């Protein structure tokens, strides 16, 4: 392992909506870090300013520049810097940049920490009312309809709930696919979690399709399917 005097990289979850949901430990880490690696600096700068963290060096770290940025961050940590890593919302590495950097830390023997914090997956699961003792998280649904339908049918037939992220622009198409073969599947659409207009819609796939055909969905969406088990 690297010597304790060396730097480290800290993966810091940020609020998924309500800015009051950040932890004291996250604020302390962001305040003391030498620099903050952000999925989008334009998004993170106002967030940091909201917590009174200003004049902090920010660097971008997203899917298009990870390959060239990661060696720079590894060397900065090796030189003694503490680097905080944030994404636009939630836990870095979960459907967001972060995984490759963790792999680089392991390969380079650079200490890293992962802080606990806000999670759209767990918030949606508990709020859905579905069983929580076991579940699957499958990230964003496939773009191609054939693969998306296969994923939806597998979730509807599974022994435990499945959690997906979905775009509001594609939710109707997804519900149409699910309702076409599993119309009675218990389904939940969690929308705008922790924000002012947070909603949980719990019903069958067919009924939710009918609802959103009349009320077009907006905002960030988490789609949950209870499963036949």
CATH of the domain at 49: 3.40.1010.10
- The answer to whether residues 83 and 156 belong to one domain is no
pLDDT at position 4? 45
Share of the chain above pLDDT 70, in %: 98
pLDDT band for position 5 (cuts 50, 70, 90):
low
Domain extent at residue 47 = 8-114
Is residue 2 a part of any domain in this protein?
A: no
- The answer to whether residues 19 and 108 belong to one domain is yes
- The answer to whether residues 84 and 161 belong to one domain is no
Which residue, of 114, 142, 164, is where some domain finishes? 114
Which residue, of 114, 136, 165, is where some domain finishes? 114
- The answer to whether residues 90 and 164 belong to one domain is no
pLDDT at position 55? 87
11: pLDDT strictly greater than 60 = yes
CA–CA gap between residue 123 and residue 126 (Å, rounded): 6
97: pLDDT strictly greater than 70 = yes
Is residue 3 a part of any domain in this protein?
A: no
- The answer to whether residues 91 and 133 belong to one domain is no
pTM: 0.91
Is residue 182 a part of any domain in this protein?
A: yes
Over range 96-101, report the average pLDDT.
92
pLDDT at position 1? 39
Question: How far from 210 is each of 199, 213, 225, CA to CA, in Å?
Answer: 17, 5, 17
Q: Domain holding 203: CATH number?
A: 3.30.950.10
pLDDT at position 54? 86
Is residue 41 a part of any domain in this protein?
A: yes
Is residue 99 a part of any domain in this protein?
A: yes
219's CB contacts (< 8 A; 6+ apart) are 168, 191, 192, 195, 197
Q: What is the dihedral of CA 177, 183, 184, 186, to 10 degrees?
A: 20
Over range 135-139, report the average pLDDT.
97
Is residue 1 a part of any domain in this protein?
A: no
Structure-token match 């789609």, residue found: 223
Over range 22-42, report the average pLDDT.
97
- The answer to whether residues 176 and 95 belong to one domain is no
- The answer to whether residues 134 and 108 belong to one domain is no
- The answer to whether residues 130 and 166 belong to one domain is yes
Over range 13-34, report the average pLDDT.
97
Over range 187-200, report the average pLDDT.
97
- The answer to whether residues 92 and 159 belong to one domain is no
- The answer to whether residues 94 and 126 belong to one domain is no
- The answer to whether residues 142 and 177 belong to one domain is yes
- The answer to whether residues 125 and 104 belong to one domain is no
pLDDT at position 128? 98
As for how many domains the chain has, the answer is 2
Over range 136-163, report the average pLDDT.
97
Which residue, of 69, 89, 114, is where some domain finishes? 114
Supply the DSSP symbol for 168: T
Please state, rounded to an integer, the average pLDDT across all residues of the chain. 95
pLDDT at position 100? 95
pLDDT band for position 215 (cuts 50, 70, 90):
very high
pLDDT digits (tens, 9 = 90+) for 64-75: 999 999 999 999
153: pLDDT strictly greater than 70 = yes
Over range 38-54, report the average pLDDT.
95
Over range 2-15, report the average pLDDT.
81
């Amino acid at each position: 392992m690297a010597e304790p005097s060396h730097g480290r990289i800290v993966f810091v979850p940020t609020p998924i909506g309500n800015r009051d949901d950040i932890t004291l430990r996250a604020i302390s880490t962001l305040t003391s870090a030498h620099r903050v690696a952000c999925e989008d600096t334009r998004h993170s700068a106002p967030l940091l300013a909201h917590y009174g963290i200003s004049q902090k060096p920010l660097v971008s770290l997203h899917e298009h520049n990870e390959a060239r940025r990661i060696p720079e961050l590894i060397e900065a940590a090796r030189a003694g810097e503490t680097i905080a890593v944030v994404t636009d919302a939630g836990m870095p590495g979960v459907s967001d940049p972060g995984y490759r950097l963790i792999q680089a830390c392991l390969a380079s023997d650079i200490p890293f920490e992962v802080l606990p914090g806000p999670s759209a997956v767990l918030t949606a699961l508990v709020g859905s009312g579905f069983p929580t003792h076991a579940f699957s998280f499958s990230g964003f649904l496939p773009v191609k309809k054939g693969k998306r339908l296969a994923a939806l049918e597998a979730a509807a037939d599974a022994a435990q709930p499945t959690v997906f992220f979905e775009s509001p622009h594609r939710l109707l198409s997804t519900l149409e696919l699910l309702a076409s073969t599993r119309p009675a599947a218990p389904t939940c659409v969690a929308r705008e979690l922790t924000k002012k207009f947070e909603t949980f819609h719990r019903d069958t796939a067919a009924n939710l399709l009918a609802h959103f055909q009349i009320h077009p969905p907006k905002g960030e969406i988490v789609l949950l399917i209870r499963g036949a088990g």
